[in-house]
A and B are shown apart, each in its own frame.
Chain A
Amino acid sequence: MNKDLYHYDLIPDVDMPAEFIEREKAREASKDEREESFIPRRRFLKMTGIAGGGLVLAFAISRSQRAEGAHHGGGDHSTFAPNAFIQIKPDGSIVIAAKNPEVGQGIKTFLPMIVAEELEVPWESVTVEQSEIDRERFGVQSAGGSQSTPRNWNPLRQAGAVARTMLVSAAAQKWSVDASKCKADQGYVINESSGARLSYAELATDAAKLPVPDADSVTLKERSEYKLLGKFIGGVDNADLVTGKPLFGIDQSLPGMLYAVYVKCPSFGGAVKHANLEEIKSLPGVVNAFVLKGNSVDGQLMPGVAILAKSTYEAFLAEKALQVSWDKAPASNESWIEMKAQAKELTSKPGPVAEEQGDMDGAIASASKVVDGYYTYPFLSHSNLEPQNCTAWYTDGKMKLWAPSQTPQGIAGMLSNLLEIDQDAVEITQLRIGGGFGRRLINDFVCEAAAIAKQVDVPIKLMWNRESDMAHDFYRVGGFHNLKGTIDSSGKLTGLQDRTVVFTPKGGDGKRPVRGGNIRAANIQCPEIPNVRIEAHHLPLQVPCGWWRAPGSCSLGWVYQSFIDELAHAAGRDHLEFLLEQFGEPRWLQPGQARAFNTERAINVTKLAAEKGDWGQDMKSGQGRGISFYFSHLGYFTEVAEVTVENGNQVRVDRVVVAADVGMLLNKAGGENQVEGSVIDGLSTLAGQEISFEEGAVRQTNFDDYPLLRMPAQPKIEIHWMTTDYAPTGLGEPAFPPLAAAVTNAIHAATGKRIRTMPISKEGFQVV
C-alpha cells in the first residue's frame, strides 16, 4: 500500500540539495552501506536473519584516510597520526581535526567529540584545529542538509578507534601481553593483569611505528560505554568568540589589502550598459573601479561593477555614488503581486497530475465532507547576520581564498571554469561562518571576490552590505497550495488533493524544480490516506532560489500539518488522535532506508510531545494549544505550541514543547541550541518575514522591513529527547518544519481563525 508515493529512492531532493543527492547516489552505487550502517544493530540482525555477532555494520573509512601514514603530522616522526583526524605528540598534546565548515551548527565541536570518544581521551586534553580543504584526506567537507552527522558518524568513530587500537597494541607489546588484556581509559592504556598504566604520550612514538589496521577491523565502543557523547560540551571557539578574537570571514585581513564592493543590477540578471567609473575613481579612497561581464551562470558571477577602496566605508560611499545604466533585457521583470494572482488562477483549475494513488475523484464524490483550503507562503531571505564576504588574493599564479562557504569543495572547479585557472591553483582557508541556513551553499560571493582579485595584484576583501545581501540572495521559494480533503461518514480522512505550483528555473528544462522547490506526496507524511493526488502547474521563475533551512519541508510542513488540523476539526475529531491515525501501524516504510518515513518513530515523538505539552488539558479563554509533526533530514519532531491571543490579534507564544528523535543526541549543548534556534527561527518567519519583488527586484532592504524576532517575543522552550538505537542524525534543520503549524493551529484553537497565508501579519496577527 502506498508504496509508490512513499518510495524514498524516488524523492531525493525533497530534502536535500541536488548536488548532495548526486554524491549520495554515487555513494550508494559504490556500496557505501550507508543505510545498513543506519539500522540499529538488533533490527539489522532481525531483518537479515543473521544470528550472533561478528557483523560489522560500519561503512568503510575512506581509502584516503587509511592511506594516511601513521608517521605523518607535524613533520615529527614521533608524532602519532594514524589518520588525518588525529595527532598525538610525545608531549601528550592531542590535536583533533575539525573537517567541516562551522556555521553555528556546532560541528567544529561535535565531530571532534566523536573522534575523542572512540580515541578514549578526556575532552579537556584535546585541541581542535580546523582542517584544510582536502577531499582526499577528509572526504566530503560541507555544511548542509543536516548531512554531516549521518555521513561522518562511522568514519569518525573508526578514525578514533583505529588510533585507540594501535595505542593499545603498542602498550601490549611493551608489556609483552596480549592486547585483549589491555584497556584504554581516558588517555592511558591499562594493563588489566598487572594494573600498570602507560599514557598515550608515552606510547605515541611506538604506536607511530605500527601498521595502521583496517578501519573495518577495529572494535567500536558500545553506546553504554560513552563518556563524552551526549554531554553538555560548550563550543570550542567560545572563548575566542566572547573575547572578540578574529574568527570569521569578515575578520580576515592581509597586508596591502583593498576593500571591494560589487554592484549588480537590482533586477535579477541585468547587465551593465554604462557606469560612471571615472567619477567613482576620483572619489576619496577609491583605488579602482571596473565592470565585470560575468558568466551569468546561476550561482556564479553575474555582471556588475567592482569598486576597490582603501576602507570599507569609502567603498560603501562610492557604491552610493555609483550610477549604472542597466541593460534590463536579460533581467527579471517578475512581480510578486502578479505571481500571486497568476498562481491563484492556475491552481483553481485542474493541473497536470504529478502523483496519484487510489481514486481521488471517487473520494470526493463519496465524501460526507469536503474541505478546501488555499495556502500560500512567501519567498524568504536567509539574512545571515554576517553579510556575504570573501577575501581573495591572486598571487604567483595561485588564487588564495579565505571563504566563509558551506561548500568549499565546490569552489576550485567552479573557478577553474570561470577564471581559466588551474583547479590546483585554488587554495581555500575555511573560516568560521556567521550563519549559514543554506545561503552559503552557493558560492556566488566567492566567484565575485576571486574574479575581482584576478584583475588586481593586491589582496582584496569583498564586502556586501545588508542591502545587497537582501537584494541578491538565493531565496526560499514561495508557494501556493489549493488543497482539498475528503472525510467519510465515520470521520476518517479518505483523500487529499493538492493543486499546486512547481517553479522551474527560467530557461531550464521546465521540469526540474528550482532549488528547494520540489513538492511530493510523501511530504504529506500521512501514509494511511488511501486517495492522494498532486497536481502541479509548472511556472518558470527567474528570481534566484536556494536551499533555505530544511528545504521543501520548511514550508510544506506548515501547509500539510495545518490542513490536517483543519480536517480533524471538520471530522469533529481530536487533532492528536486524528494525526496518529494518519501514521497507521508502527513500521518503517522502507526498512533500512534512512530517508524513508518510520511511523513508529513518528508515533512515539508525537505521543511524547502531547504528554509533555499537556495535550487535552483545559486552557483559559484566549489561549490555545496546537500540535504539529514533521519528519525531515532524518529527524522526527513533534512540537506543541501554547499561545495567548489578546485584543483579537496579539499573539504571545507562551511555550513550545519539542519532542525529538534523532537517534542519539551527540552534544547536549550544541544540539539543544539548534532546536531552540529552530523554534525562534520558525517564529521569526511566521511573524512577519516576506520577500517580495517588483520588476524583478527585491523590495526589502534591511531588518526594518524584513524583521527578525527580538528577545521579548521568545517563548519558553522545552525539549524532550527520545533516545533510540538508530544512528544519530543532524539537527540543523528538522526542528524547524513543525513549528509554524503548531503555532497557527494554536492560534486557531485560541481564536477560531484559520491562518492560511504566511506570514501571519498578512492575516492581521502580530507576534508580541
Chain B
Amino acid sequence: MATIQVNVNGDDRTIESIDPNTPLLWALRDHLGMVGTKFGCGKGLCGACTVHMNGIAIRSCSTPVSAAVGQAITTIEGLAESSQNLHPLQEAWMEEDVPQCGYCQAGQIMNAAALLSSNSSPSDEDIDNAMAGNLCRCGTYTRIRKAIHSAAEKGGVA
C-alpha cells in the first residue's frame, strides 16, 4: 500500500493507501470517484477505459496507477475546456446522435481526440485504423466515423 499523487485533468490528486499495481482505471473509478472512464474487458481489448497520458491515448485498465505518477492524465471528465465549451468531438457526438447504450463512447471520444491531435483531417481509413481498438457492442461505428469527420472539419483539435 502506498500514497500516490496523480495529476488528473490538471488537478493534483492524492490517493491514500492504494496498491500501486492498481490499474489506473480502478484508481480513477473507485478511489477518485471519476466514473466516466469505463471497464469493458480489463485486458486492453475493448478501449472502453481509454484516457490520455500526456496527450497519448492509453488503456487505463492495463496501466498501473504507479505509471501515472508525474504524468498528465486526461479523462473524459476533463476533455472539455468547460461545460459551456465542449470539445468539438463531444459536440459532433451529440449532433450525429452517436450513442446507443453509450457505454463505450467515453473511450471512443478519448481515442478520437488523440487521433485528431496528431492528424487534424483524417481519412476514413485513418479513422478506421486509429479506432480499431475501440469496440462498440451496439455497432455505432458508422456514426463514430461521421462524427470524427465533422469534428475535424470544424477544427477538431480544440
Contacts and interface: CB of A to CB of B under 8 A. Distances in A.
Contact of B109 (A234, A242, A253): A242
B76 A386 contact: no
A235 B102 contact: yes
Nearest to A314: B19
Given A253-B33, A434-B103, A435-B138, A711 B41 contact: no
A679 B128 CA distance: 17
A383 B102 contact: no
A681 interface: yes
A410 interface: no
Contact of A311 (B22, B80, B104, B143): B22
A711 B138 contact: no
Interface in B103-158: 103-106, 109, 125, 127-129, 131-145
A106 B97 CA distance: 10
A52 interface: no
Interface stretch (A11-19, A126-134, A669-677): A669-677
A244 B95 contact: no
A710 B104 CA distance: 13
Contacts of A383: 137
Contact of B35 (A251, A311, A314): A251
Nearest to B43: A702
Contacts of B35: 244, 246, 250-251, 253
Contact of B135 (A248, A285, A385, A677): A385
A704 B43 contact: yes
A241 B131 CA distance: 19
Contacts of B145: 711, 714
Contacts of A710: 132-133, 135
A313 B19 contact: yes
A244 B45 contact: no
Interface residues of B, number: 64
B151 to A, nearest CB: 11
B46 interface: yes
B77 A237 contact: no
Contact of B30 (A237, A311, A676, A709): A311
Contacts of A248: 38, 103
Chain A interface size band reads: 35 or more
A253 B31 CA distance: 11
B149 to A, nearest CB: 13
Contacts of B33: 253
A674 B100 contact: yes
B130 to A, nearest CB: 9
B83 A242 contact: no
Contacts of A678: 139
Contacts of A316: 42
B55 interface: no
Contacts of B109: 242
A235 B97 contact: yes
A434 to B, nearest CB: 3
B53 to A, nearest CB: 17
A311 B102 contact: no
Contacts of B102: 104, 235, 237-238, 241, 247, 432, 434
A103 interface: yes
A318 to B, nearest CB: 12
A681 B103 contact: no
Nearest to A242: B90
A616 to B, nearest CB: 27
A226 interface: no
A434 B135 CA distance: 13
B140 A385 contact: no
A385 B142 contact: no
Contacts of B41: 466, 702-703
A682 to B, nearest CB: 9
Contact of A711 (B1, B90, B128): B128
B99 A244 contact: no
B143 A673 contact: yes
Contact of B132 (A259, A674, A712): A712
Interface of B: 1, 18-19, 22-23, 26, 29-31, 33-43, 45-46, 48, 75-77, 79-80, 83, 86, 89-90, 93-95, 97, 99-106, 109, 125, 127-129, 131-145
Given A253-B35, A681-B138, 4 more contacts: A248-B38, A284-B19, A432-B101, A437-B137
9 contacts: A385-B48, A385-B135, A385-B138, A673-B143, A676-B140, A702-B45, A703-B45, A704-B43, A709-B141
In the A-B complex, the 9 residue pairs with the closest CB atoms: A244-B36, A680-B139, A104-B101, A434-B103, A244-B76, A677-B139, A104-B100, A669-B97, A241-B102
